[in-house]
Amino acid sequence: MSESGTNAIVWFRRDLRLSDNPAWAVATGSADEVVPVFVLDDTLLDAAGPFRRAQLLGEVAALDATIREHTGGRLFLRRADPAQVLADLVDDRTVGVFWNDDVAPYATARDARVEAALSCPVQRFWGTLFHRPGSVLTGKGTLSKVFTPFYNRWIVTDVDPWPTPGSASVATGPGESLDALVQAAGPAPLPPGEAGAADRLADWARRADNYLTDRDTPSIEGTSMLSSDLKFGTLSPRHIAQYLGTTTSGREGFVRQLSWRDWWAHTLYEFPALTTASVRPEYDNIAWRYDEADFSAWATGQTGYPIVDAGMRQLAQTGWMHNRVRMITASFLVKDLLIDWRHGERHFRKLLIDADLAQNGGNWQWVAGTGPDAAPYFRIFNPTSQSRKFDPHGAYIRTWVPELSALDSKAIHEPAAAAPLDLAGAGVILGDTYPAPIVDHAFARERTLAAYKAVKES
């Protein structure tokens, strides 16, 4: 930090970019010098599985590189308590600390603590969302509990203008080095930084027109793969929507998905217990089973249901899973194994690169039928018909469950029902090379209906 002139501190968190970042823009127009800071929080780092950890560290290193390249400054990095780090940086030349807010309860509690520890003004923004919480409301002034009315408002809500950056210089003060951590974590699964994100966005723009026809086919790249960029903030949702526009039905359908992200974020903001309690409280009385062996078979992709196993192995091996398969695997845990959705939510949260408390918690509750706007509980996915419908030739299964790859596209969805000769011809021995189904779907369906019905009626 320079010895003279005013300074503004920007605390980066889930907004790891310089462009289209309101906290950065206002700070660079508020002081002579800006001090960009990232505080590595061991609680969050330890909660991340290997893929998210590597992506996070890669993103932070890339942000530092971008700051060096574009401003000549440096990202000031510390691994400590953020309240302490920021309080130590503030002095009598500091005009304020600037950051973009987050809806997660851990973050809101931490931020309140940080704000209380600071002796200078704090300016907070909502650069991580399209519309800030509380700005998309029904005629009665409440957050809609149903998605479609929320979307209908969301799409016509005026966008809060974001400021353009000022001309402050950027501090070069030394922080800690990330190198050892980055090396230990290995390369980021996705090319990091604003540059990696911009390439993904440009690539997506070439494919986005086909979104509505391709997005439910897990064997092809029919979705944007931008969830990690939204998670870490290497792209702003507004920039994504603006870049793509809504000129075709595919693009319009895609932008609609971005409003789901806002909806879950606004819901978490209003209902901080989204990952710990059912939004519809009666469902917290369901007599869940907890069977360690069943949970472990699900988590490791050994259920005997090929589409479920393919998805769980994709997650374990890459930190990502296709949306359709997230729905199928989540439904299997809750509705076929009758295991409490919170166990699944935690498992996904640990492993997903794009794990986001609001999106993960909201979607798990949606699948479990316990959320604000959930499919009725009696609509239970049949994993085998889902597999036939969305992976008709078994291409996705073949990629992730290679021991079944020699089965034809009829038998691959349900090896347990295949003719013994077909199994033998494909080298599949049920219970040996591939598990027999750990549960019978028809039986499981009745068991789940009874468990849900019992709490509805009580």
Ligand X SMILES: Cc1cc2nc3c(=O)[nH]c(=O)nc-3n(C[C@H](O)[C@H](O)[C@H](O)COP(=O)(O)OP(=O)(O)OC[C@H]3O[C@@H](n4cnc5c(N)ncnc54)[C@H](O)[C@@H]3O)c2cc1C
Residue numbers of the site for ligand X (CB under 6 A)?
215, 223-227, 230-231, 257-258, 260-261, 264, 323, 326-327, 330, 348, 352, 354-356, 359-360, 363-364, 367
Q: Are 147 and 263 in contact (CB under 8 A)?
A: yes
Tell me how far CA of residue 119 lies from CA of 8, 38, 92, 102, in angstroms.
Answer: 13, 19, 9, 22
CB of 225 to ligand X, least distance (A): 4
Contacts by residues 111-119 (CB-CB < 8 Å, ≥ 24 positions apart): 113/83, 114/11, 114/82, 114/83, 114/86, 117/83, 117/84, 117/86, 117/87, 118/83, 118/86, 118/87, 118/90, 119/87, 119/90
CA separation for the pair 352, 242 (Å, rounded): 27
DSSP strand pairing (33-39 vs 169-170): parallel
Tell me the closest approach of the beta carbon of residue 125 to ligand X, in angstroms. Answer: 19
Least distance in angstroms from the C-beta of 152 to ligand X: 17
Nearer to ligand X, 315 or 401 (CB): 315
Q: How far is the CB of 105 from ligand X (least distance, A)?
A: 16
User: What minimum distance in Å lies between the beta carbon of 166 and ligand X?
Assistant: 30
Question: In the structure encoding, which two tokens stand for residue 192, read together?
Answer: 């990091």
Quickly count: other Cβ atoms within 10 Å of residue 273's Cβ.
11
CB of residue 80 to ligand X, shortest distance in Å? 27
Beta strands in 309-364 (DSSP E): none
Q: Which is nearer to ligand X, 86 or 321 (CB)?
A: 321
| CB nearer to ligand X: pick between 371 and 394 | 371
Q: Which is nearer to ligand X, 147 or 434 (CB)?
A: 147
Which of 193, 344 has the CB closer to ligand X? 344
Residue 360 CB, shortest distance to ligand X, in Å, is 3
Give the residue with the Cβ less far from ligand X, 302 or 365.
365
Q: How far is CA 433 from the centre of its chain?
A: 34
Crossing angle, helix 237-244 and helix 193-207, to 10 degrees?
40
Q: Which is nearer to ligand X, 221 or 408 (CB)?
A: 221
Pick the closest to residue 434 from 394, 405, 410 (CA basis). 405
169, exposed or middle or buried, with CB in 10 Å at 0-12, 13-18, 19+? middle
